[in-house]
Amino acid sequence: MAANSSTSDLGSRKYVHWNAPGVEKVPPGEAEDVQAIADMINTMQKAQYNNHRHMYGGTHARTQGIVKGELVVEEVPPHLAQTLFSKPAKYPIAMRYSTEPGDPALDDRIPQPRGLGMKVFNVPGEMFEVGKDFDTQDIEFNSTPALELADAKTTKEIFELRIKYGGNKEELYKHLEARKDTELQKSRDEVPNIHLESTRMYSQTAYRYGDYVAKYSLVPSSETQKKLYNEVVKPDSHPDHILSDWLKEFYANHEAEYLFQVQLLENLDDQPVEYAGAAWDEEKYPWQTVGKVVVPKQDSFIPVRKAFWEDHVRMDPWHGLKSFQPLGSPNRLRRVIYPASSELRRQINGRRQINVTDIKQIPDGGFIDV
């Protein structure tokens, strides 16, 4: 939790209700922008298919490792006892570490945002229609606290530039530098390129948190993980697959532990929900711990597990509890583009989607039985 002069009053603060006026404001023309973005995502997927002769997701195409562990929810104060964290419990989880862009061959030595997708199993509660038959909660994380694709309008503009100038960084930067959000757009190329086990992960966007609204975060908390913060990728001496190598070496010798924290919405002027391009001030609005993730020693890069996840599994924050509803423009965008990306991927690869309901369905070895 961030240092704060008045953290003792966290239980008595006036947190904004998730469906209060102004939390979500859908701008005119958003639906048209979203459909245009879905089409562009498919265009980018097809371009990668031409390179690799296999279809991947439009984003987070490079798998760095997949592990199994446990989400431990402990007793928390009443204002934090919400949704998935409403009472003490233990849930099996599977987590996939990834690199954010849509190229599965992207060199690890190139600084880019990293991602983490978590599937939580055996979750009780009312689910959204798309996942009502599957008691799982999908939770997505990214290594940057702010999202440069801050809303649907911005996403459309940036994707247009990436499709047109993606192969020419100098030309792309000329157009990015003409924008008012230049610093935000260029920040993805300047993120620290460090060991994944020392990387703090963020939701970037806002979610319903039971009665309230929150962003969430995973904080590496073991001493072993903290010591790895200074482990920086060296382009001149490390191989292009260094991140997955480091991850595999770590899990062969250590268990991982993360704090699961939330940052609650108190002031819409300071903490916008519709625009995800700015982190919420953690001094004013402190992170609060609601649980922990524990991952034991294991092989983090099992080829059959990687193939199963990439070809059959779908991560989608709209697969989950209504009390954990994704909020804001970037999440309304995901509600359309994730199914569109997945559908094209299954169609081209000739693979069917498997809605995993038991962690044992994620293979530990052998062959994929579908």
Q: Give the pLDDT band of residue 359 (cuts 50, 70, 90).
A: very high
Q: Is the pLDDT of residue 248 over 70?
A: yes
Question: CA-CA-CA-CA torsion for 18, 216, 340, 113, nearest 10 degrees?
Answer: 150
Q: What average pLDDT does the segment 22-40 reach?
A: 98
Average of per-residue pLDDT across 135-148: 98
| Structural domain count, the chain | 1
Q: Is 258 helix (H, G, I), strand (E, B) or coil?
A: strand
- Chain mean pLDDT for the chain: 96
Rounded to 5 degrees, φ, ψ at 78 are: -55, -40
Residue 2, pLDDT score: 45
In a domain, 370, yes or no: no
Angle at 37 between CA 35 and CA 43, to 5 degrees: 110
Give the pLDDT of residue 237: 98
Question: Does 145 reside within a domain?
Answer: yes
**pLDDT value of position 3:** 40
For the residues 101-122, what does the mean pLDDT come to? 98
pLDDT at 4: 42
Interval 337-362 mean pLDDT: 96
Q: Is residue 369 part of a domain?
A: no
Average pLDDT over residues 232-247: 98
Q: Is residue 2 part of a domain?
A: no
In a 13 Å sphere around the CA of 62, the CA atoms on its Cβ side amount to 20
- CA 294 to each of CA 90, 94, 315: distance values in angstroms, whole numbers, following the listed order: 10, 11, 20
The CATH number of whichever domain residue 167 belongs to comes to 2.40.180.10
* For residue 194, pLDDT beyond 60: yes
Residue type, 348: I
Instruction: Write the CA distances from 24 to 6, 146, 270, integer angstroms.
Output: 29, 18, 15
pLDDT value for 5:
38
| Separation between Cα atoms, residue 252 and residue 296, nearest integer Å | 9
Q: Tell me, what's the pLDDT at 370?
A: 74
Domain presence at residue 71:
yes
Q: Give me the mean pLDDT over the 51-62 stretch.
A: 97
Q: Is residue 115 part of a domain?
A: yes
Kindly tell me the burial class for residue 74, based on how many C-beta atoms sit within 10 Å of its own C-beta (0-12, 13-18, 19 or more).
middle
Q: What is the DSSP letter of 212?
A: E
pLDDT in tens, 84-95: 999 999 999 999
CB neighbours (10 Å) of residue 351?
A: 17
What are residue 117's DSSP bridge partners?
A: 96, 140
- Give a yes or no: residue 258 inside a domain: yes
Q: Return the pLDDT at 7.
A: 53
Q: What is the mean pLDDT of residues 191-216?
A: 98
Determine the length of the chain. 370
Residue 206: domain span: 7-361
- Tokens coding 64: 């760095």
Please list the residues that pair with 155 across neighbouring strands.
Answer: none
- Sequence-separated (6 or more) residues with CB below 8 Å from residue 298: 67, 68, 251
Instruction: Work out the number of other CB atoms within 10 angstroms of the CB of residue 10.
Output: 17
Residue that the structure tokens 């402990």 belong to: 74
Q: What is the dihedral of CA 345, 163, 169, 59, to 10 degrees?
A: -30
220 has which bridge partners? 258
Residue 67, in any domain of the structure: yes
Q: For residues 257 and 296, what is the distance between their CA atoms, to the nearest angstrom?
A: 9
Whether 154 shows a pLDDT value over 80: the answer reads: yes
The pLDDT confidence band at residue 130, using thresholds 50, 70 and 90, is confident
Distance set, CA 58 to CA 47, 89, 148, 196, 328 (Å) = 10, 34, 16, 21, 20
Per residue in 59-75, pLDDT (tens digit) is 999 999 999 999 999 99
Q: What's the pLDDT tens digit per position in 3-19?
A: 443 456 899 999 999 99
Please state, in angstroms and rounded to a whole number, the distance separating the CA atoms of residues 2 and 23.
25
